[in-house]
Structure 1
Amino acid sequence: MNQSLKIAFPKNISVSIKREDLIHPFVSGNKFRKLKYNLLQAKDENAATLLTFGGAYSNHIAAVAFSGKEQGFKTIGVIRGEELASKIQENPTLKFAQECGMQFEFVSRENYRLKENQDFISNLKQKRGNFYLIPEGGTNDLAIQGCQEILTDEDAEFVYICCAVGTGGTISGLINSALPHQKVLGFPALKGDFLQDEIRTFVKNQNWELILDYHFGGYGKINSELVRFINDFYQTTQIPLDPIYTGKMVFGIIDLIQKDYFPENAKILLIHTGGLQGVAGMNTKLKNKKLPLIEIHD
């Protein structure tokens, strides 16, 4: 569903948001898209167990846990940070995943970096048995196939397609399915420009650009300005944004409009990739730091 923002922008610019967050109550946005064909492949391979990777408040971990429960798979989450093993009940994401039946393998941050190492994977199989492997964030060829279905015929009127970027899968799908007159703008949640090469492994088109100025210090980083923006945006539009991905992307788009980045009469489509389950965890961190809380109700 595309929802037009009833906000008066300069130069007759119009902005709409595609509510991918409403696809599914627990597997929303790009996680639904990324898992669609991976789950079908796992069934084709007669896999009984899904194994994947994620951090403390990972949207992907929550989505895999619920999808596994819903579709009859056992699930294993390899979690970054051994200290989290004793904090499951304090962590809304891990608590939810455990309630969905997910088993956890907590590893050090050093060992977590080995998640693509074949010896590391082989050791996991020796310990946990055989499994269907879904990469961190869900990004692989099957995930991109799913993300290519985000854009539909009704989106042809838009010239700019904008999304947040984590592992690069969602934007790759959008780039592959965008029409010749459309440009895809990605807003990385991580600091640095290393995603360019990763995205190029999945796409051939040149109709895209990464905007690197709105990560707010890096992945999982947030400040009072962004919290106020998310709260004000919700009050104005009744659209909830998550603070890790979509909130930063929408902040960036509105800032770019004000800085005259877009031409007159530009039609812009924002992709809401979900991630709202992470708000509770972020609010816990904000409360501990005595910062304002995100006040949205999804």
Structure 2
Amino acid sequence: MERKTLITSTRNLAQLFATLEVKEASPQYSLDLAWPNSHNISVSIKRDDLLHPIISGNKWRKLKYSLAQILGSRTLHIVSFGGGFSNHLHALGFCCHRLNIRFTAIVRGDYSANPSPMLHDLQMWQTDIQYVNKITYQQRESPAYLTLLHQQYPNALIIPEGGSNKLALQGVAEIISELDQHYDYIIAPVASGGTLAGLIKATAHSATHILGIAALKGQGYLEEHVQALLPQTYQHWGICHDYHFGGYAKRSNELVDFCNDFYHQTRIEIEPIYSGKLMYAVKDLINRNYFNKGSRLLILHTGGLQGSRAIGQRASIL
């Protein structure tokens, strides 16, 4: 039975890659940055944003095994959650459209009068969009609410906000198997916790430290969220909460300028919601000598550029 399941899973993954045209691995390379104190350490980047132009970065990593699972079943309906600019809903909506899977997106807030670019895309991909108020959305992880959704959408696969479930860890872990050298630190943004949890689990037996940069206010909560996805307690990770700039999607002119300067220096696009806060944090931590001299850092670019289309952060680099 295990062998049959493995063969089925392999076939389903092959179908996903062929249908969605996703790259098998993302490139990694050194960054030559003119940052204070950067000469003391080695900084590299893994460009998961280049895996696919729409299913960007960690969204593909977190969704691939859930999608493979549904292809191997009679279930042809997925339900998930997100905000009006959600990278997760955007990636999942595209995947479901291409794979002929019915998709219901439960969206926090009513954007019906003024849909975001992300929601316009979902409409184009024939997504069933259900707008809910903040109180209802806050129940998205409660057993009672999930039971009601199962009753409303029988046989549907319900994927958590951000795609962060146990299967997500398996996909994220493949980042580590693609690396061509050892790194002392792997640094990634944190929101729903699945990416960080996958990195933590995959490096459990190495000397690599996993450092998350919080993209929102959530000290304590984010740590609990990440730990809840892990099979046991690990000690080689932490989350820095000093660079959320006031909360999720909050930004300052300084951060926006930094994103633009980074692009002009490296030709790598970043945005002020996830990757911009990540890069800003790394630069500041290097300047403060947070990392030991000679440390090798790997920055994970998790994509998500589409999420900033409607709020003007990238105007000067588009």
Q: TM-score, length-normalised on structure 2? A: 0.86
Give the alignment partner of residue 28 of structure 1, picking from 32, 56, 66: 56
In 1: Cα distance, 2:125 partner to 2:171 partner: 24
Give the alignment partner of residue 19 of structure 1, picking from 44, 47, 64: 47
SS at match of 1:34: helix
Query: Aligned-residue CA RMSD in angstroms?
Result: 1.6
SS at match of 2:264: helix
Which residue pairs with 1:279 in the alignment?
Answer: 308
In 2: Cα distance, 1:128 partner to 1:266 partner: 50
In 1: Cα distance, 2:315 partner to 2:295 partner: 30
Matches within 5 A, 1:1-298: 1-9=27-35, 10=37, 11-82=39-110, 84-88=111-115, 91-152=116-177, 154-178=179-203, 180-193=206-219, 194-203=221-230, 204-283=233-312, 293-297=314-318
Cα pair 1:171 1:184 within 8 Å, conserved: yes
CA displacement 1:154-191 (0-9 Å, x = unmatched): 34331110000011100111111125221110001111
Cα pair 2:85 2:308 within 8 Å, conserved: no
Instruction: Report deviation, 1:217.
Output: 0.4
CA displacement 1:194-226 (0-9 Å, x = unmatched): 111221223332111111100000111111011
Cα pair 1:231 1:294 within 8 Å, conserved: no
SS at match of 1:192: coil
In 2: Cα distance, 1:271 partner to 1:176 partner: 16
Which residue pairs with 1:290 in the alignment?
Answer: none
Name which of structure 1's ranges 218-227 and 148-157 shifts more when overlaid on structure 2: 148-157
Unpaired runs of 5+ residues, structure 2, are 1-26
Instruction: Report deviation, 1:144.
Output: 1.0
Q: What code does the residue aligned with 1:172 have?
A: A
Instruction: Report deviation, 1:127.
Output: 4.0
Q: TM-score, length-normalised on structure 1? A: 0.91
In 2: Cα distance, 1:16 partner to 1:242 partner: 18
Cα pair 1:137 1:167 within 8 Å, conserved: yes
Cα pair 1:161 1:269 within 8 Å, conserved: yes
Instruction: Report deviation, 1:126.
Output: 4.3
In 2: Cα distance, 1:198 partner to 1:124 partner: 22
Task: Quickly say closer, same or farther: Cα 1:294–1:265, change in 2 above 3 A.
Answer: farther
In 2: Cα distance, 1:267 partner to 1:66 partner: 36
In 1: Cα distance, 2:142 partner to 2:254 partner: 39
Equivalent pairs, count? 286
Instruction: Report deviation, 1:25.
Output: 1.3
Q: What code does the residue aligned with 1:219 have?
A: Y
Instruction: Report deviation, 1:14.
Output: 1.6
Instruction: Report deviation, 1:282.
Output: 2.5
In 2: Cα distance, 1:153 partner to 1:167 partner: 23
Instruction: Report deviation, 1:280.
Output: 0.6
Q: What code does the residue aligned with 1:261 have?
A: Y
Instruction: Report deviation, 1:266.
Output: 1.4
Cα pair 1:56 1:79 within 8 Å, conserved: yes
Instruction: Report deviation, 1:117.
Output: 2.5
